[in-house]
């Protein structure tokens, strides 16, 4: 069966003498309704109505997350990570918004049916500080550095073809954005940088507005809306989708993947993950359910090498998971790290493909700059530990330098 072949690829069981000891999954939530239903300013065209509340996980998103959970269940069983069907060494932790909590619940209920494994999350908060990549440094020199580096990233963007395509799709010259705010051409406006303590890095301008628009189109595509209802039928080819989604990728790059401050943004989540990786009594399986901003800030901080995700338009796809695996070699006695990006393709999302019916989820083996992988995708766990220990040093040295500059 194709599914068994997929498991062999994912688990790398052709490498003799390896035993899976620990898995930490960093996941983006699954399909949600658009983040806002207040889109009338952006186009006079009639926007499709969603049955699901804005920013909430859709029923289809929960269904697809369940499919992903069943795939992981089979892999975990194949690798014998657990000896029991309802293991105790499992920890599931989600950010507070409904879409992340509901994604975690769909995943764990699929992997561990009838086991009553709890999804942990903080109540009565809009966003859990562990998952919230915000500025917490009010040193003036830090703010200046961030703004300069974000501006440099903005200046280097080459998105005019993407912005022009947006202009045409939304009929921007007839929009309230143009009539009331004189914002009549995405290619002619610049982004303003927004820096606020306890808030995420942000911009306002063509990048942010374009990101909002493309996000609606993407979620409609994944949700399975009629093709004529997605962008009013004006996206005609995969090439145009790739042109548009360059906006969403660059929005994430500018805000969360800048090497000078991504470590600052990711620190609460990375501290949490470090405790899992460095603690011998940590759960065998941990699922952390957050957002694309979490995945991007963590990847930037740990020094992931550039990567491509076949059959996807996004850099951090809906429902995608970065799977950190600790393996032990019975041959050498050493521990090894393997990192895979496991994610659904655009087609699997749109057509609700059950992974074992036709094909497995997509998988790309990832590599860290300072942890060289072998031909099977493994690198030394001790090198990974060195990276983890260097994280606090990097953040501390930046802060110390900035304080010194102000003195």
Return the closest-CA partner of residue 19 out of 332, 286, 276. 332
Tokens of 373: 């992988």
* DSSP three-state, residue 371: strand
374 is catalytic: no
Distance CA 40, CA 209 (A): 13
Sign of CA dihedral 320, 322, 326, 329: positive
Q: What DSSP assignment string belongs to 85-138?
A: SS-SSEEEEE-SSHHHHHHHHHHHHHHTTTS---EE--SS-SS-TTT---B---
Query: Are the beta carbons of 207 and 250 closer than 8 angstroms?
Result: yes
Q: How many CB atoms lie within 10 A of CB 333?
A: 8
Is residue 31 classed exposed, middle or buried when 0-12, 13-18 and 19+ CB atoms within 10 A define those classes? buried
Rounded distance between C-alpha atoms, residue 32 and residue 219, angstroms: 7
Q: Contact 33/39 with Cβ under 8 angstroms?
A: no
Nearest-angstrom CA–CA distance, 9 and 14: 8
Catalytic site includes residue 29: yes
- Cα 340–chain centre separation: 13
Q: Which residue in 29, 91, 132, 291 is the catalytic one?
A: 29
Rounded distance between C-alpha atoms, residue 394 and residue 372, angstroms? 20
Catalytic residue among 271, 292, 357, 392: 292
Token readout for 269 is 């989540």
CA separation for the pair 225, 372 (Å, rounded): 43
β-pair type (285-290, 378-380)? unpaired
Cβ neighbour number for residue 259 with a 10 Å cutoff: 11
Q: Which residues are catalytic?
A: 29, 292
């Amino acid at each position: 069966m194709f599914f068994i072949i997929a498991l062999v690829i994912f688990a790398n069981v052709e490498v003799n003498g390896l035993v899976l000891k620990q898995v930490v999954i960093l996941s983006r939530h699954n399909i949600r309704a658009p983040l806002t239903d207040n889109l009338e300013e952006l186009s006079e065209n009639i926007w499709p109505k969603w049955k699901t509340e804005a920013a909430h996980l859709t029923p289809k998103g929960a269904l697809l997350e369940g499919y992903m959970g069943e795939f992981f269940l089979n892999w975990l069983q194949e690798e014998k990570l657990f000896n029991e069907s309802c293991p105790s060494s499992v920890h599931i932790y989600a950010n507070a918004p409904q879409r992340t909590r509901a994604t975690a619940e769909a995943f764990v209920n699929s992997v561990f049916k009838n086991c009553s494994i709890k999804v942990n999350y903080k109540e009565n908060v809009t966003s859990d500080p562990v998952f919230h990549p915000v500025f917490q440094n009010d040193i003036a020199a830090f703010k200046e550095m961030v703004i300069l580096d974000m501006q440099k990233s903005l200046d280097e963007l080459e998105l005019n073809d993407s912005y022009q395509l947006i202009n045409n799709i939304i009929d921007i010259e007839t929009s309230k954005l143009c009539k009331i705010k004189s914002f009549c051409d995405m290619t002619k406006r610049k982004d303003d940088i927004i820096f606020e303590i306890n808030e995420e890095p942000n911009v306002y301008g063509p990048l942010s507005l374009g990101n909002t628009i493309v996000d609606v189109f993407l979620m409609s595509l994944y949700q399975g809306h009629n093709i004529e209802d997605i962008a009013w039928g004006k996206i005609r080819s995969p090439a145009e989708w790739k042109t548009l989604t360059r906006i969403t990728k660059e929005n994430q790059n500018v805000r969360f993947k800048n090497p000078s401050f991504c470590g600052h943004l990711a620190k609460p989540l990375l501290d949490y993950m470090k405790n899992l990786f460095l603690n011998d009594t940590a759960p065998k399986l941990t699922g952390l359910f957050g957002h694309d901003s979490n995945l991007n800030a963590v990847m930037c901080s740990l020094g992931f090498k550039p990567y491509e995700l076949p059959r996807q338009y996004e850099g951090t796809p809906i429902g995608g998971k970065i799977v950190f695996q600790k393996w032990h070699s019975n041959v050498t006695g050493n521990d090894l790290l393997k990192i895979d990006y496991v994610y659904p393709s655009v087609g699997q999302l749109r057509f609700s493909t059950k992974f074992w019916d036709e094909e497995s989820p997509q998988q790309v083996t990832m590599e860290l700059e300072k942890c060289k992988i072998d031909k099977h995708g493994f690198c030394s766990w001790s090198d990974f530990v060195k990276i983890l220990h260097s994280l606090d040093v990097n953040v501390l040295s930046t802060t110390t330098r900035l304080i010194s500059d102000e003195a």
